[in-house]
Amino acid sequence: MIEKNAYYEVTFTDLTHDAMGVCKVEGFPVFVKDALKGEKALIKVIKLNKNFGFGRLIEIREESPFRKLPICEHYHVCGGCNTMHMNYQTQLDFKRYRTQETLSKLGKIKTEVKETVGMNNPYYYRNKAIIPFGMRGDKVIAGLYKQRTHEIVNIKRCHIFPRMVSEMVRYLKSLFYELGIEIYKEDIDQGFLKAVMFRHSEIDHQMSITLITRNGKVPEKEEFVRNILERFPNVVSIVQNIQPDQSNVLLGPKHRVLYGKDALNDRLLGLEYEISHRSFYQVNPIQTEQMYTKAMEYAELKPTDRVIDAYCGIGTIGLSAANKVAEVVGIDVVKDAIKNAVQNAKNNQIKNAKFIVGKAEDVMATFTAGSIDVLFVDPPRKGVEKKFLEAIIKLRIPRVVYISCNVSTLARDLNFLQANNYTVREVTPFDMFPQTSHIEAVSVLDYSK
């Protein structure tokens, strides 16, 4: 019988959704981080649950030809990336395979899953970074959390954020120390600065900085802002967000603008967007353009179409479609995002788009059957509510383009639509998050009765 802390020689036969190698020890499934399919290795069993266990890779005995030396020195401790040990084509193949498997096993969907659309340079792509700060002795540290912990890995350089972010983090560590800006201590819920959120724009490499703090005012505020601007003149917005609660919700309800305004502007597919610190914005601009282009192609838009952009954020999908259709209606639950969306329509001289604050599932139920031609859906990881799916069916929307960052909830939702007169025509995965196992996928469904 399999035993905890014992060593076993194994062969990996599959990969889990989060890219762990799957092997069997005496018929019992064990998942091991950093192992690749086809590899033989010595593992140590470190945890046993009822139906599966976890192991640690001790020594690779037969290495996969698809293995790659990670370029990041923090890779094996940091929880940020988990596929950097695969060569890039293998990462793309893995994502297509996982999409296909999940859709067919979980959703009972038989459809064509295209090749994953990858990047020419799958590094330094992420335009948003949230970096927790902490103390180690009397030293300020900052980085990403170790996987499944709140332990900060003090990172010198990250290979998925723009290089400038690593430079800013290094600078802020010493600036906070010099100005006596107290770092938050999570274990005792004391201190001031919890984390810093950085956003980078494709327009002149402009950046915004959000200090996420417990409460109170930023000490030495003028000095802080002056130092930042002197060192990084491309910073256009500095905001303090106040999160007094010790919770997993990152941003608190209140904020103060310390410099500029609460907005960063970026450009996507020829349109310019204003993004407030609280609004969702896709993290990979290169892949977002590719993905939206595919979404528009799938939608087969016509000049007479009335289109809904559900879960619209700052309006990027709907506004990209607006010049091809008669009318766009965007829906999002975050007030600041809708404020941005309305402003974005104005700034881009788009007059046929309107935006509604509300839960998509509630707003959808207010439209009349037959009045909508195309629906774009781009929900958060948990997918959509059943009420939302029921509204789609009731409205008999001819074409639905469902964009998802979680193929499990996508499979669940597509399964429901498939059982109600919709056919999943095609799915294309996009590598929005290279070096990680996260998958973004665009699917298109047609209604036929």
Ligand X SMILES: C[S@@+](CC[C@H](N)C(=O)[O-])C[C@H]1O[C@@H](n2cnc3c(N)ncnc32)[C@H](O)[C@@H]1O
| Residues labelled catalytic | 405
Residue 313 in the binding site for ligand X (CB under 6 A) = yes
Beta bridge partners of 266: 273
Q: Which residue has the tokens 């192991």?
A: 55
Q: How far is the CB of 381 from ligand X (least distance, A)?
A: 8
Q: Kindly tell me which residue out of 43, 236, 317, 329 binds ligand X, with binding defined by CB under 6 A.
A: 317
Q: Quick one: 250 or 333, whose CB is closer to ligand X? A: 333
Helix (H/G/I), strand (E/B), else coil: 429 = strand
Q: How far is the CB of 385 from ligand X (least distance, A)?
A: 7
Q: Kindly tell me which residue out of 241, 282, 344, 428 binds ligand X, with binding defined by CB under 6 A.
A: 282
Please give the torsion angle defined by the CA atoms of residues 19, 20, 23 and 26, in that order, rounded to the nearest 10 degrees.
-140
Q: Quick one: 213 or 404, whose CB is closer to ligand X? A: 404
How far apart (Å, rounded) are the C-alpha atoms in residues 142 and 156? 9
Q: How far is the CB of 57 from ligand X (least distance, A)?
A: 33
Helix (H/G/I), strand (E/B), else coil: 226 = helix
Q: Kindly tell me which residue out of 168, 228, 331, 353 binds ligand X, with binding defined by CB under 6 A.
A: 331
Q: Look at the alpha carbons of 148, 154, 158, 161 in this order and tell me if their dihedral is positive or negative.
A: positive
DSSP structural state of residue 9: E
Joined together, the tokens standing for residue 440 give 């973004």
How far apart (Å, rounded) are the C-alpha atoms in residues 110 and 113? 9
- Ramachandran area for residue 421 (φ above 0: left; ψ -120 to 50: alpha; else beta): left
Helix (H/G/I), strand (E/B), else coil: 348 = coil
Q: How far is the CB of 189 from ligand X (least distance, A)?
A: 28
Asked if residue 18 lies in contact with residue 12, where contact means CB atoms within 8 angstroms, the answer is no
Q: Kindly tell me which residue out of 83, 316, 348, 437 binds ligand X, with binding defined by CB under 6 A.
A: 316
Q: Quick one: 194 or 438, whose CB is closer to ligand X? A: 438
How far apart (Å, rounded) are the C-alpha atoms in residues 311 and 375? 11
How far apart (Å, rounded) are the C-alpha atoms in residues 287 and 204? 19
Q: Quick one: 86 or 312, whose CB is closer to ligand X? A: 312
Q: Kindly tell me which residue out of 280, 355, 402, 430 binds ligand X, with binding defined by CB under 6 A.
A: 280
Residue 402 in the binding site for ligand X (CB under 6 A) = no
Q: Kindly tell me which residue out of 332, 336, 373, 431 binds ligand X, with binding defined by CB under 6 A.
A: 332
Taking alpha carbons only, the member of 96, 84, 17, 128 closest to residue 441 is 96
Q: Quick one: 252 or 379, whose CB is closer to ligand X? A: 379
Q: Which amino acid is at 178?
A: E
Q: Quick one: 66 or 311, whose CB is closer to ligand X? A: 311
Instruction: Give, rounded to a whole angstrom, the gap between the first and last alpha carbons of the chain.
Output: 54
Cβ-proximal residue to ligand X, closest one? 313
Joined together, the tokens standing for residue 62 give 């037969």
Q: How far is the CB of 257 from ligand X (least distance, A)?
A: 21
Q: Which of residues 379-398 bind ligand X (CB under 6 A)?
A: 379-380
Q: Quick one: 172 or 317, whose CB is closer to ligand X? A: 317
With residue 387 as reference, give the H or E element that holds it.
helix 386-395
Q: Kindly tell me which residue out of 36, 155, 207, 312 binds ligand X, with binding defined by CB under 6 A.
A: 312
Binding-site size, ligand X (CB under 6 A):
19
Which residue stretch of 224-232, 312-320, 413-421, 431-439 sits at the interface with ligand X (rule: CB under 6 A)?
312-320
Joined together, the tokens standing for residue 119 give 């990047």
Q: How far is the CB of 441 from ligand X (least distance, A)?
A: 12
DSSP structural state of residue 181: -
Taking alpha carbons only, the member of 110, 184, 180 closest to residue 152 is 184
Per-residue x/- marks for ligand X, 351-380, CB under 6 A?
Answer: --------xx-----------------xxx
Which residue stretch of 136-144, 208-216, 242-250, 328-336 sits at the interface with ligand X (rule: CB under 6 A)?
328-336
Asked if residue 388 lies in contact with residue 310, where contact means CB atoms within 8 angstroms, the answer is yes
Which residue stretch of 22-30, 141-149, 184-192, 274-282 sits at the interface with ligand X (rule: CB under 6 A)?
274-282
Taking alpha carbons only, the member of 83, 79, 81, 23 closest to residue 54 is 23
Q: Quick one: 131 or 334, whose CB is closer to ligand X? A: 334
Q: How far is the CB of 53 from ligand X (least distance, A)?
A: 34
Q: Quick one: 18 or 289, whose CB is closer to ligand X? A: 289
Q: How far is the CB of 198 from ligand X (least distance, A)?
A: 18
Please give the torsion angle defined by the CA atoms of residues 416, 417, 423 and 426, in that order, rounded to the nearest 10 degrees.
-80
Which residue stretch of 129-137, 183-191, 192-200, 278-286 sits at the interface with ligand X (rule: CB under 6 A)?
278-286
Q: How far is the CB of 335 from ligand X (least distance, A)?
A: 10
Binding region for ligand X (CB under 6 A)? 280-282, 311-313, 316-317, 331-334, 337, 359-360, 378-380, 405
